[in-house]
A and B are shown apart, each in its own frame.
Chain A
Amino acid sequence: MIFSPYKYKKVNCMIEIKSISKSYIKGAKIIDNLNLEIKDGEILGFIGPNGAGKTTVIKMMTGILEIDQGDILIDGKSIKSEPYEAKKNIGLTPDNPDMFLNLKGIEYLNFIADIYQVSENDRIQKIKELAKKFEIEDALNEKIESYSHGMRQKIVIIGVLLHNPKNWILDEPITGLDPKAIYDLKIMMKEHAKQGNVVFFSTHILEVAENLCDRVAIINKGKILFLGRVSELKNKMKEENNSLEELFMEIIEND
């Protein structure tokens, strides 16, 4: 068993990222001693330029990538030493929605429901509700390969929402969605957080983060450069009369 110093600690937040580091080449850290806590009922936006390390962190959070140093706890369960338990509470939408293209939409959703052991009644109800919300009811009987990028994104999101995980981890969820779907997704994210759950999502779009997040974490070169409430950022904006975009650029460039 791999030793985890954080395993038995009582937690009041659902996701705890504890001093994680990652390097692909010896000596060149992609993620460097990163700490982050995401509390119950919180929406946290993970913002950063391309190659900042957002997807790497998400991959470590979900068990796709091994953590070199530190640990990540999901509902108190270490992704390193108790991956099975930790994964049960995660719902991930990856950055690439091209999944299981040769399955029909409904086959994909059924498969996901089976993997997460969602009961028949629950899955029927959820699929009905979510497919209607995302307006893809008519496409469920088609192969995913015939879907547009936005539709693929929608089906993956529905797949995540099917088993109602406590922790939603969404890697660039907005990309490719139409305005209505973005609106609906935002509402769902807010509702999910309201129920005491966690929504962690990465994005390039600053306006989305501004409208949606309780807190934002700005990451560059594997380090968190800013972590705080959006209001704190806004206050700073007022002081310096900058837009969020300008502030973001300033933070990144000062790094």
Chain B
Amino acid sequence: MIKNIMLLTKISTRNFLETFKIVDKKKKRINKKSIYVWLFLVVIIAITYLSNEVLNFLDDYGQMHIFLDVIFAIVMMIMFMQTIIACMNILYFSKDLEYFLIFPIKTKELLLSRVQTMTNILYLTEAIFLLIPLILYGISTMANYAYYLFIIPIILLLPILPVLLISIVFLIIMNFIKKIKNKNRLQLISTIFFIGIIVVFEIVFIKGLLSNNMNYEQVGLSLVNIFKNINNSMIVINPLINILEQKYVLVNMLKIVGIYAIMYAILLFIGNKVYIKNILKAMEYYKKKIKTKVNLYKTCKSQKISKAYMKNEFKNLFGNTTFFMQMIYPICITIITLITFAISFRINAMTSNQELYNLIADLQLTLEGVGLTAGIAQILFSFSNISITAISRQGKNATFMKYIPVDMYKQFILKNIPQYVVNSVLSIVLLTAIKIIFVSITWIDIIIMLPICIVLGILNSCIMLIVDVKRPILNWNSEMEVIKQNGNKIFQYVWTIIVVLLLMYIYNIFENVNLYMGIFITLIIFTVLLLIVNIYVKRQIKKNKLFKNII
């Protein structure tokens, strides 16, 4: 049994890891061309820097011990979110399940291998977010050798909790939600569930942070209490911290093993009864044919080419679960997070923290504020992958756009429209959130800032589409590869850095210029940039160069 579980886990984990292309198999060394290698490197440097800063800060106040509470709570939250997103796919909708089902494998072997695959994925998260801070903590506190030795079981044991907990919840959900007919609806439900968790968490977090007219020191303490509460509710974290601090190691270890043994027993008990049955049900629904005749007189309505083309672009985004999860879902989360944060902040500041409220109420819009807003808008645009995958999403039939009698420039514009819409919505939401938080900023200020954000959004879409048109990824077998193996994303990050630096430079030069004049100049600069990009696109199309790589 263990051999089978290990074999299945190995295959599934390898499939997952291969999408990152971290290792160059031919040369048997780190693949320097992989965007993920560089991303991991950047994140590791950032985590090291931040951890060091936090540790120095806490050391100054003699509060170093708080660090473990904070880091464990944060990593646990990250892992919970990651598991919620991955769990449904790995347990029920992963492509390799179809191949595994034909083998003589027991239910518990398949289930445990899926659970272990998820755990392995989380080990990667831990390696980035937990391992380095723990080592730095050890160095800062001059910990003994045992501390470093105990890091290994901590790393191995921590992710098991979110994986088991969420797997059990999903096993139950899948069994009871009989009306879910396909993956799309199921994904929608899990999206709403996840958004719900974020909203509740944000409200509780901000309320806890801003209550009772606290000063900054009290706010800090309140923040620590929130982390401690998270750790208390995640029953294994405190025993794990105790092990690391070498307090009652054996007792705490037995406690964790006991908790996990019970959870595994529950998982296997439920899983044995429902898992395979529900996988088959999910697959059957996914492939089920509806067999309803279509009323051609109702459905066949002619539309203008532009409208039909645009509608098709939206359908491609919303009708495909993977694309929806990769392109639209992060935007939904961002919007909900922004609005919830703004409303919650405003209410709590008004009712519980008059000092903070008065401070914010006195703030006036400055040119730096405009630059900061535009910079945040640009960062938000980078969360979305619509334009940067507009061609790649079509895969092998991206050539369709080349043999239909529709002007290529028109197609370029139409392909960008979903991203324009999303960026414009993000801009409006961001500015509304700013208006909610900063009461002194007028609606006129907001309306004046909007064009800058909109132009930035359009510019971002155009540049990302150019990148995708020039370097499309068309030979993929599963939709996940469109994002996961898409090295073009680096261009989005580079462009975001360029825009932010440009904004900083502009507002540095026009520091003493009148606010509205400064906004106008910024708008002119980005509009000119947009026009230049537009001319470039037209020229490239005329020379048959822009879409050359779509073959």
CB distance from A106 to the nearest CB of B (A): 5
Q: Is the CB of B397 within 8 A of A139?
A: no
Residues of chain A with a CB closer than 8 A to B297's CB? 124
Q: How far is the CA of A69 from the CA of B403 in the complex (A)?
A: 19
List the 10 shortest-distance A-B pairs measured between CB atoms, nearest first: A114-B308, A102-B319, A87-B405, A62-B403, A141-B294, A88-B405, A102-B320, A64-B399, A99-B397, A64-B402
- Which A residues lie within 8 Å of B403 (CB)? 62-64, 87, 90, 92
Please give, as numbers and ranges, the residues of chain A lying within 8 Å of B395 by CB-CB distance. Answer: 98
Partner of B397, one of A98, A107, A118, A123: A98
What 0/1 readout, one digit per residue, does chain B (297-330) give for beta carbons within 8 Å of chain A? 1011111110111011001100110000000000
Q: With CB as the reference atom, state the residue of chain A lying closest to B319.
A: A102
B→A interface (CB under 8 Å): 287-294, 296-297, 299-305, 307-309, 311-312, 315-316, 319-320, 395-397, 399-400, 402-407, 544, 548, 550-551
Contacts of B308 in A (CB 8 A): 110-111, 114-115
- CB neighbours (8 Å) of A113 from chain B are 300, 302
Q: Is the CB of A142 within 8 A of B402?
A: no
A residues near B291, Cβ cutoff 8 Å: 138, 142
Given contacts A59-B551, A99-B397, 13 further A-B contacts (CB under 8 A): A65-B551, A84-B407, A94-B399, A96-B396, A107-B315, A110-B308, A111-B312, A114-B302, A114-B309, A115-B308, A128-B296, A137-B293, A142-B290
Q: List 17 A-B contacts (CB under 8 A).
A: A59-B399, A63-B402, A66-B544, A84-B407, A94-B399, A98-B396, A98-B397, A103-B315, A110-B301, A111-B311, A114-B307, A115-B308, A117-B302, A120-B300, A127-B296, A138-B291, A139-B289
- Pick the contact of A114: B296, B303, B407 (CB < 8 A): B303
Q: How far is the CA of A4 from the CA of B329 in the complex (A)?
A: 49
When C-beta atoms are compared, the residue in chain B nearest to A86 turns out to be B405
Q: Which of B287, B297, B299, B395 is the most central at the interface, judged by chain A CB atoms within 10 Å of its CB?
A: B299
CB B297 to nearest CB in A, in angstroms, measures 6
Please tell me if the beta carbons of A124 and B296 are within 8 angstroms of each other in the complex.
Answer: yes
A128→B295 CA distance, assembly (Å): 10
The reply to whether A114 and B294 contact each other, CB–CB distance below 8 Å, is no
Q: Which of B287, B301, B309, B397 has the most CB atoms of chain A within a 10 A radius of its CB?
A: B397
Which residues of A sit under 8 angstroms from B312, Cβ to Cβ?
A: 100, 103, 111
Let me know if A146 is at the binding interface, CB within 8 A: yes
Closest A residue by C-beta to B286: A146
What is the distance, in angstroms, from B400's C-beta to the closest C-beta of chain A?
7
Q: Are B300 and A110 in contact (CB under 8 A)?
A: yes
Q: Which residue of B lies closest to A102 (CB)?
A: B319
Q: Which residue of the partner chain, among A66, A84, A137, contacts B405 with CB atoms under 8 Å?
A: A84
* C-alpha spacing A234/B409, complex, angstroms: 49
Within the complex, which residue of A85, A117, A146 is in contact with B305, where a contact is CB–CB below 8 Å? A117
List chain B residues, Cβ under 8 A from A11. Answer: none
Determine whether A140 belongs to the interface, using a CB cutoff of 8 Å to chain B: yes
Which residues of the partner chain B approach A84 to less than 8 Å between Cβ atoms? 405, 407
Q: Which residue of A lies closest to B403 (CB)?
A: A62
- Of listed A98, A102, A143, residue having the most chain B CB within 10 A: A102
Interface members, chain A 89-137 (any B CB < 8 Å) = 90, 92, 94, 96, 98-100, 102-103, 106-107, 110-111, 113-120, 123-124, 127-128, 137
Of B301, B399, B551, which is within 8 A of A120 by CB? B301
Minimum C-beta distance from A180 to chain B (A):
20
Closest to A84 in B: B405
Instruction: Say whether A87 contacts B404, CB under 8 Å.
Output: yes
A113 to B301 Cα, complex, angstroms: 10
Cβ-neighbour of A99 out of B304, B305, B400 (below 8 A) = B400
**Contacting B287 at CB < 8 Å: which of A59, A99, A106, A146?**
A146
Nearest CB in chain A to that of B288: its residue: A146
> Roughly how many angstroms separate A63 CA and B548 CA in the complex, as a whole number?
10
In the bound complex, CA of A92 to CA of B401 (Å): 12
Nearest neighbor of B318 in chain A, beta-carbon distance: A102
Q: B292's closest neighbor in chain A, by CB?
A: A141
- Given the complex, which residues of B lie within 8 Å of A120, measured CB to CB? 300-302
Q: Which residues of B contact A94 (CB under 8 A)?
A: 397, 399-400
On chain B, the residues within 8 Å of A142 by CB distance are 289-291
Bound complex: CA of A99 vs CA of B288, how far in Å?
A: 19
- B301 CB contacts on chain A under 8 angstroms: 110, 120
Task: Check A106–B544 contact: CB distance below 8 A.
Answer: no
Q: Return chain A residues, CB-CB under 8 Å to B294.
A: 106, 140-141
Q: Which A residue sits closest to B308, measured CB to CB?
A: A114
Given contacts A62-B402, A107-B315, A111-B308, contact A146 B551 (CB under 8 A): no
Give the distance in Å from the alpha carbon of A202 to the alpha carbon of B303 in the complex: 33
B400 to A, closest residue via Cβ: A99
In the bound complex, what is the Cα–Cα distance between A99 and B316 (angstroms)? 11
Chain B nearest Cβ from A47, distance in angstroms: 22
- How far is it, in angstroms, between the C-alpha of A103 and the C-alpha of B397 when the chains are bound? 14
Chain A residues whose C-beta falls within 8 Å of the C-beta of B402 in the assembled complex = 62-64
**A64 lies within 8 A of B551 (CB):** yes
Complex Cα gap A118–B294 (Å): 19
Nearest CB of B to A40, in Å: 21
In the assembled complex, the Cα of A100 lies from the Cα of B400 at a distance in Å of: 10
Residues of B within 8 A of A98 (CB): 395-397
Complex CA distance for A110 and B92, rounded to whole angstroms: 33
Q: How far is the CB of A42 from chain B (nearest CB, A)?
A: 21
Chain B residues positioned under 8 Å from A141 (CB to CB): 290, 292-294
Closest partner residue, chain A, to B396 (CB atom): A96
Q: Compute how far the CA of A146 lies from the CA of B109 in the bound complex, rounded to whole angstroms.
A: 30
Min CB distance B405 to A, Å, is 4
Q: Which of A13-72 contact B (CB under 8 A)?
A: 59, 62-66
Name A24's closest neighbour in chain B (CB-CB): B551
Closest CB in chain B relative to A20 CB, distance in Å: 15
Q: How far is the CA of A143 from the CA of B303 in the complex (A)?
A: 21
Distance between A81 CB and nearest chain B CB, rounded to angstroms: 10
User: What is the CA–CA distance of A47 and B319 in the complex, to the nearest angstrom?
Assistant: 38
In the complex where A103-B319, A115-B404 touch, is A124 in contact with B300 (Cβ < 8 A)? yes
Asked whether A102 lies within 8 Å of B315 as measured between CB atoms, the reply is: yes
- For A123, give its contact among B300, B405, B407 (CB under 8 Å): B300
C-alpha spacing A139/B316, complex, angstroms: 20
Contacts of B544 in A (CB 8 A): 2, 66
CB of A84, distance to nearest CB on chain B (Å)? 5
B287 partner residues in chain A, CB cutoff 8 A: 146
Quote the shortest CB–CB distance from B551 to chain A (angstroms). 5
B289, B290, B294, B303 — most chain A CB neighbours (10 Å)? B294
Contacts of B303 in A (CB 8 A): 114
How many angstroms from the CA of A115 to the CA of B303 in the assembled complex?
A: 9
> How far, in angstroms, from A240 to B543 measured CA to CA in the complex?
51
Q: How far is the CA of A63 from the CA of B551 in the complex (A)?
A: 10
Q: B404 contacts which chain A residues (CB < 8 A)?
A: 87, 115-116
Closest chain A CB from B301 CB (angstroms): 7
Across-interface contacts of A146 in B (CB, < 8 A):
287-289
Chain B nearest Cβ from A98, distance in angstroms: 7
* Closest chain A residue, CB of each to CB of B309: A115
